[in-house]
């Protein structure tokens, strides 16, 4: 969940996102069943009970603001209304985006990007793109059974020409408890807004996909989530 709430009273709603990729999409019914059973068992120290109300599929951006949503499962009907056929990652051009020379990103959860073996807090576009391209390539190969066929060196070289126009990023220290290791883990990263400038046409499909799959270390449990801001979004 993106909200910071840790305590929920009776009648309050908790909304969270789950991203399934490639072969994992076929297991969506099992995830739904698991969350329903988890609600009966209880969650947290007090084992608070909950019920699964509905599941929505989030699609690409609409022509207006926001992303499309479609209810595919509800507690009333208990019928999954979705084609579960999985396919390789689609990197076709994103027609809903214009191709302006300016890119504005909002990092919503701590983002941990490595370059030359070290975590970076001074974000350059090529560092973001290297990490994103690597994640997309690995997901495509291991989860979708399809090798990503792009000019890696050419794209990375092109990404090095993109400049940072404005940065309002800040480091956010975040901790999580690891039951397996029985210890608290520090997983801080940067959050906030950054604006890049340059010839961005080649990068829009990857950046759009990154909104859904996140980027950087810890992305499997929610880190590295960002949104592409439109020109009419708040500064």
Q: At 144, which CATH number?
A: 3.30.70.1900
At 5-42, the pLDDT tens digits run 778 899 999 999 999 998 898 999 999 999 999 999 99
| Helices within 109-215 (DSSP H only) | 125-144, 152-159, 204-213
Q: Does 234 fall in a domain? A: no
- A 10 A CB-CB count for 25 gives 18
Tokens of 129: 């793109």
Q: Does 235 fall in a domain? A: no
- Residue tagged 């999954």 (tokens): 80
Both 150 and 79 in one domain: the answer is no
User: Model-level pTM?
Assistant: 0.85
Both 77 and 107 in one domain: the answer is no
Both 82 and 107 in one domain: the answer is no
Write the burial class of residue 6 (CB in 10 Å: 0-12 exposed, 13-18 middle, 19+ buried): exposed
Both 110 and 214 in one domain: the answer is yes
Both 112 and 216 in one domain: the answer is yes
Both 2 and 64 in one domain: the answer is yes
Secondary structure class of 156 (helix, strand, coil): helix
Both 148 and 215 in one domain: the answer is yes
pLDDT tens track, the chain, 235 positions: 677 777 889 999 999 999 999 889 899 999 999 999 999 999 888 899 999 999 998 876 544 456 678 899 999 999 998 876 544 444 454 444 556 899 999 999 999 999 999 999 899 999 999 999 999 999 999 998 889 999 999 999 999 999 999 999 999 988 777 767 777 877 899 999 999 999 999 999 999 999 999 999 999 889 999 999 986 665 5
What is the count of structural domains for the chain?
2
- A 10 A CB-CB count for 195 gives 16
Domain that holds residue 143: 102-229
């Amino acid at each position: 969940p993106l909200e910071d709430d840790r305590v929920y009273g009776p009648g309050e709603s908790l909304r969270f996102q789950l991203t399934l990729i490639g072969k994992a999409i076929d297991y969506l019914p099992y995830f739904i069943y698991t969350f329903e059973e988890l609600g009966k068992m209880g969650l947290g120290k007090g084992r608070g009970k909950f019920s699964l109300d509905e599941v929505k599929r989030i699609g690409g951006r609409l022509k207006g603001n926001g992303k499309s949503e479609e209810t595919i499962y509800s507690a009333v009907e208990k019928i999954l209304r979705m084609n579960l056929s999985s396919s390789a990652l689609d990197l076709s051009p994103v027609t809903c985006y214009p191709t302006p020379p300016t890119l504005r990103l909002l990092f919503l959860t701590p983002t941990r990007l490595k370059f030359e073996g070290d975590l970076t807090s001074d974000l350059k576009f090529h560092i973001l793109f290297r990490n994103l391209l690597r994640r997309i390539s690995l997901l495509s190969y291991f989860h979708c059974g399809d090798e990503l066929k792009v000019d890696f060196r050419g794209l990375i070289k092109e990404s090095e020409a993109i400049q940072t126009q404005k940065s309002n990023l800040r480091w956010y220290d975040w901790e999580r408890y690891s039951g397996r290791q029985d210890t608290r883990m520090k997983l801080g990263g940067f959050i906030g807004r950054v604006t890049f400038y340059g010839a961005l046409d080649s990068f829009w499909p990857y950046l759009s996909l990154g909104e859904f799959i996140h980027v950087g270390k810890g992305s499997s449990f929610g880190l590295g989530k960002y949104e592409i801001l439109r020109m009419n979004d708040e500064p």
